[in-house]
A = this chain, B = another copy of it.
Amino acid sequence: MARDDLWSFFHPSSVAVIGASDSAGKLGHEILKNLIEGGFPGALYPINPKAEKILGLTCFKNVKDIPDQVDMAVVIIPARMVPQAVRDCGEKGVKGAVIVTGGFSEAGAEGAKLQEELVRVASNYDIRLVGPNCQGVNNPHHPMCASWPLLTHKGRVAVISQSGTVGAAMMDWFSVEELGVSSFVSLGNRADIDEVDLIEYFEGDPNTKVIAVYIEGIKDPQRFRDVLSTLSKPLVVLKSGRTPGGRVAAESHTKSLAGADAIYASLFRRHGVCRAETIEEFFDFAKGFAYLKPPSGNRILYITTSGGSAILATDAAEQEGLSVSALPEELAGQLEGVIPPHAIRSNPLDLTGDANAKMFQEVIQRARPYYDTLGIIFGDPILDASEVVTPEANELVIFLGGAEVERAERMKMHQRGIPVFPTPERGVKALAQLIPPKSKARKAQTTFPVASGRVQLGLYEGLQFLESKGFDCIISSFADSPGKAVHLAHRMGFPVSLKVDSPDILHKSDCGGVRLNILSALELRSAYTQMMERVRSHHPQARIPGVVVSAMASPGLELILGMNRDPQFGPVIIFGLGGVTVEILRDVSMRLLPLTRDDALEMIDEIKGAPLLKGFRGRRPVDQEALVDGLLKIARIAEEHEDIVEIDLNPVLAYAEGMVVVDSRILKA
């Protein structure tokens, strides 16, 4: 999809500045000055009917007066004069015009009409337009800075922006970091050239490795989808209007419809577009794609002198689906004599305060074959830090701190094409964008560690214990044969449920140990037999004294009430939505002891699903008092029974009046 028709905007041999001015500060002055000072290698023609010379260059009254060919024009004259200027350009044979002037469609109905006229004129003469109402075009590789501020660093990222200032901020950061950009285009009102045209152009531009686009809405969804489906270069998109309020602001700003954000999200996901959520991510992600080598997997080893930063980096990695996998023994052996004896052989690998550049370098060399990425975190200023890392070598460099020494080393690395990130989290997140979703681990969830050496109460024993503490449990009895089960079922009336009762099985339903809604004696007998077979085949070693037969609870809101004894904090009371769905969409609140009534009420209010408890969609609210009471009872058990390390009442069914425990798990130390 080579777009030769846009070539003249980035590689003109000659540029006319229509509206060039002699007054410093005016855009017509600044742009001409930037073209000159940026080192534009071709001919520059200021157009100004009143001046003889501007910035040392001979002025022309009209673009048509220029004796030589003009490839491109930058237009900074009042809006109403722009169509005529473009007509003149057309007659002169100019191929492209960058219309900086504002006052078109963004400024109301009259401006919109003027813009229509402008487009008509341009199309009559086959002139392509950037803008109007834009901040120009800059190609540091030509070089040609028909924009402001003057930025001349040559880089690898093409920045396309619907907002002049957002684009300029990106440019600015890339410039301060001495990385530069491959080109910058300010889209403005997109009367002609839009984001799709430019993505197509930069796909074919050899200086561009990554395309970074800020948009508020796309102009043509169909063309946008088409270009995404064939694009080979990484595309990083910052799209504002993510929220309803932002969308309204975006539509007002661009005077055009924006589709629902969720659709953009799915479109981006489908086509592998990297979506930045903030302007800082926009910068970081573009930088990552431009200068990091995509790793072939998700395993990362941190090498650092800052234990603290490496822990933060580990958190970030797990959240982003990277794996901070254990140090292979073989590698640990190879580090003998290289790292200090008191440095712990683990990942993160903390080289301790004794580290120097040489040690970093040797560790990096030895570790490289074992990991997909090495995360080098410099916490303290390491002399010659910039010498230990290599461009394009699957290294992620993080250099904390903003003082002069860090800045100097950072700049040295940037000059060598090695991107440096200022915090572990920003670096890791940028790296994670380069790893395909399939190579990533499922994002880490906060869970309680399973302590070993715990003993589970039998189900029936547990329910009896809970009854003795004042809980309403579903009517249940213990049976150790199909016959007894049937007998009990008749007493409670069908339907009933059947659950295996074994101290050795933690997840009954995983092994076929739960059957609900059994309707008859016949069904119960066969369920009993089948259950024993299935459970035994899953757990051949488990002790299985029998089963619990229970009545079926009426439908109600499924909740979890529980307690977990943390080794450091002691008992933690847990409340949340229950059942199997919510095991995945985890929604719980927690409190430490002592637990007051107010705490319990807060816990109930705190979960995301709280509206469900208050009577959502015409349902009756559930009995909050009963829930508060249940939580306080669990707290009391935790205080009185120090040997109980875990209580898991799940599900508890909550009703408009009361609640009932349907299943439970109780673990002792």
Contact = CB atoms under 8 A, between A and B. Distances in A.
A243 interface: yes
A570 B567 CA distance: 55
Given A312-B279, A449-B260, A619-B580, A176 B612 contact: no
Nearest to A225: B592
Contact of A423 (B280, B512, B582, B616): B280
Contacts of A402: 169, 172-173, 175-176
Nearest to A241: B311
A337 interface: no
Interface in A83-111: 102-103, 107-108
B308 A161 contact: yes
B308 A253 contact: yes
Instruction: Count copies of this chain in the complex.
Output: 2
Select the residue from A107, A266, A582 with max chain B CB neighbours within 10 A: A266
Contacts of A619: 509, 580
A76 to B, nearest CB: 12
Interface string A372-413: 000000011000000000000000000011110010000000
B107 A342 contact: yes
A593 to B, nearest CB: 10
Given A240-B315, A342-B103, A249 B584 contact: no
Nearest to A618: B509
Nearest to A512: B618
B566 A249 contact: no
A588 to B, nearest CB: 8
Contacts of A446: 242-244, 260-262, 265
Contacts of A590: 262-263, 265-266
A291 interface: no
A175 B403 contact: yes
Contacts of A447: 244, 260, 262
A656 interface: no
A165 B311 CA distance: 12
Interface string A574-586: 0001001111110
Nearest to A377: B165
A310 interface: yes
Contact of A163 (B216, B240, B241, B308): B308
A306 interface: yes
A612 B175 CA distance: 49
Given A163-B307, A176-B402, A424-B279, A353 B318 contact: no
Given A176-B403, A403-B175, A270 B314 contact: no
Q: How large is the interface on A (under 10, 10 to 19, 20 to 34, 35 or more residues)?
A: 35 or more
Contact of A308 (B165, B316, B423, B566): B165
Interface string A261-279: 1110111011000000111
Contact of A245 (B238, B314, B567, B587): B314
Interface stretch (A343-351, A455-463, A474-482, A637-645): A343-351
B617 A243 contact: no
Contacts of A426: 278, 280
A245 B163 contact: no
A54 interface: no
Contacts of A253: 307-308, 310-311, 350
Contacts of A658: none
Contacts of A609: 581, 584-585
A258 interface: yes
Interface in A293-346: 305-312, 314-319, 324, 342, 344, 346
A608 interface: yes
Contacts of A599: 270
B584 A581 contact: no
Given A324-B245, A582-B581, A584-B616, A163 B318 contact: no
Contacts of A608: 584-585
Contacts of A312: 166, 238, 240, 246, 278-279
Nearest to A448: B260
B344 A252 contact: yes
Given A243-B446, A380-B165, A566 B263 contact: yes
A529 to B, nearest CB: 17
Contacts of A23: none
A592 B266 contact: yes
9 contacts: A164-B308, A165-B305, A166-B379, A246-B318, A261-B446, A262-B588, A269-B606, A279-B424, A280-B423
Closest 6 CB pairs of A and B: A163-B308, A165-B379, A165-B306, A246-B315, A243-B318, A259-B568
Interface of A: 102-103, 107-108, 149, 161-166, 168-169, 172-173, 175-176, 214, 216-218, 221, 225, 238, 240-246, 249-250, 252-253, 257-263, 265-267, 269-270, 277-280, 305-312, 314-319, 324, 342, 344, 346, 348, 350, 352-353, 379-380, 400-403, 406, 422-426, 444, 446-449, 507, 509-514, 517, 555, 564, 566-570, 572, 577, 580-585, 587-592, 599, 602, 606, 608-609, 611-612, 616-619
Given A259-B566, A260-B572, A263-B592, 12 more contacts: A166-B379, A175-B403, A242-B319, A243-B319, A245-B317, A246-B314, A252-B344, A260-B446, A260-B564, A263-B590, A266-B590, A581-B582
